[in-house]
């Protein structure tokens, strides 16, 4: 990943308490994170590091809507997303879960 990559620290740049799928679920939903933070960063076509440590946890609804939604809703391909995004977390299972949502979203697109 390039040294010029943009870093998105979810706890600092979004919230320590992510929850919910859609904006109608709450202010810190996966959809809000995708639309307000991820998509603007990805549209610059520069690499993005997503720092996942910090929040208390992530529900599957939040993760799928935020990251799977990049493919399912925003029209990116899984390859584009996985090339542009790098995930940093002390929890390897979390990175694997996010990757699976991105790849699975292709089938639903």
Partner 1 sequence: MFGRGRHDEVVKFIADLRTKVLIQGKRVRIDFSHTKKMVSCGTLLFFAELRRIKSLVQDATMLSCKRPKDQTVIEVLQHLEILDMLGTRSGSKPSRQDVVTWQVACGDQTDAQEIGMILEGLRDVSKLPEAVAKRLYTSITEALTNVTQHAYIKSRKDGVSQQLDKGWWMFFRETKDRLDIAVCDLGIGISETLPMTQTEFLIDPLFRAAQLIGLRGKDNIDARLIKAALEFKRSRTGQDHRGKGLPQIVSTAEEVDGSRLYIFSNAGCYTIGSDRHPPDFTRGYKRSILGTLILWSLPIDGWMEAVT
**CB neighbours (10 Å) of residue 107?**
9
CB of 30 or CB of 47, closer to partner 1: 30
H-helix segments, the chain: 10-13, 30-33, 39-43, 60-63, 69-72, 78-84, 92-108
Give the shortest CB-12-to-partner 1 separation in angstroms. 15
Detail the DSSP E strand segments found in 1-64: 6-9, 48-51
* Cβ at position 24, least distance to partner 1 in Å: 7
Q: Is 36 in the site for partner 1 (CB under 8 A)?
A: no
Based on CB atoms, which residue is closest to partner 1, 5 or 94? Answer: 94
CB atoms within 10 A of CB 38: 24
Sequence-distant (≥ 6) Cβ neighbours of residue 32 within 8 angstroms: 23
Q: How far is the CB of 9 from partner 1 (least distance, A)?
A: 17
Identify which range of 1-9, 41-49, 59-67, 76-84 contacts partner 1 by CB under 8 A. Answer: 59-67
How many residues bind partner 1 (CB under 8 A)? The answer is 29
Residues making contact with partner 1 (CB under 8 A): 15-22, 24-29, 56-62, 64-65, 68, 72, 101, 104-105, 108
């Amino acid at each position: 990943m390039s040294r010029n990559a943009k870093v998105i620290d979810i706890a600092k740049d979004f919230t320590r308490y992510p929850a919910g799928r859609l904006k109608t679920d709450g202010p810190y939903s996966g959809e809000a994170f995708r639309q307000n933070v991820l998509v603007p960063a990805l549209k610059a076509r520069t690499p993005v590091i997503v720092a996942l440590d910090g929040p208390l946890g992530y529900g599957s609804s939040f993760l799928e809507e935020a990251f799977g939604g990049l493919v399912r809703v925003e029209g990116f391909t899984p390859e584009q997303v996985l090339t542009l995004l790098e995930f940093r977390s002390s929890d390897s299972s979390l990175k694997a879960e996010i990757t699976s949502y991105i790849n699975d979203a292709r089938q639903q697109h």
